[in-house]
Amino acid sequence: MVIAAAEPIALGDTASRLAAGLDAIDADVVATFSEVVPEGRYLPLLLEVSPRLVRPVSGPEDYFAEEQVVTWGLSGFWGLPENPQTPYYRTFDTRVDDDAHLHEFVVPMVPPSWNDRLRVAAFRELLAAPDGPLPTAVALTTLDVCGPAVAAGRADWHVHWGLTHFLLDGHHKLEAAASVDGTVRLLSLLTLNDSLATEEELALLPALRAREQLARRPPRV
């Protein structure tokens, strides 16, 4: 689909529809958020995510201190892992093939410490209710496929498929879900113009995202 940029967004009743949760891609909701994303071609995806909050450097599961270092090594200038300078969420990982792995992230536009505590608590209560709805967040998404230029001398050469969701709406929902090991839905607007991936790689993404989670295959010796 094609999305054209327009004026700053006004959610109106879209906010309550997202809080109640979407069961399918909603054209009206997509149209609402098309007003704040760059003009271009997009593939909308409706995903379920179980977020885990990661604090760079000091916290466990930091991609930049773990998987990235194993493949690319430490920063050549600082001798340290890269620091994204923001907390973020990890949500999904699976194998693409023996030499490639999909890593998924959700990046908030403001740190969780800025979130309204009462709204987080309200979503936490909603997520804890048995058979309750799955609130829906919305994100602008990129797929970046990259790997080291050469494999020689590297313990774990492989191609990283980085699926990154930049939150447009849903900061309180993601924090609430992370705090109770819960699940929310994510309406992802995947940019086909600005991803560092080929058309063929982008076309594979829906099937890859539907796979079960699989850990990275041990490096070849």
Per-residue pLDDT of the chain (221 residues; tens, 9 = 90+): 555 444 456 688 999 999 999 999 999 999 999 999 999 999 999 999 999 999 998 778 999 999 998 888 888 888 999 999 999 999 999 999 989 999 999 999 999 999 999 999 999 999 998 888 999 999 999 999 999 877 655 667 889 999 999 999 999 999 999 999 999 999 999 999 999 999 999 999 999 999 999 988 776 65
pLDDT at 220: 60
pLDDT at residue 65, as a whole number: 93
Three-state SS for the chain is CEECCCCCCCCCCHHHHHHHCCCCCCHHHHHHHHHHCCCEEEEEEEEEECCEEECCCCCCCCCCCCHHHHHHCCCCCCCCCCCCCCCEEEEEEEEEECCEEEEEEEECCCCHHHCCHHHHHHHHHHHHCCCCCCCEEEEEEEEEEECCCCCCCCCCCCEEEEEEEEEEECHHHHHHHHHCCCCEEEEEEEECCCCECCHHHHHHHHHHHCCCCCCCCCCCC
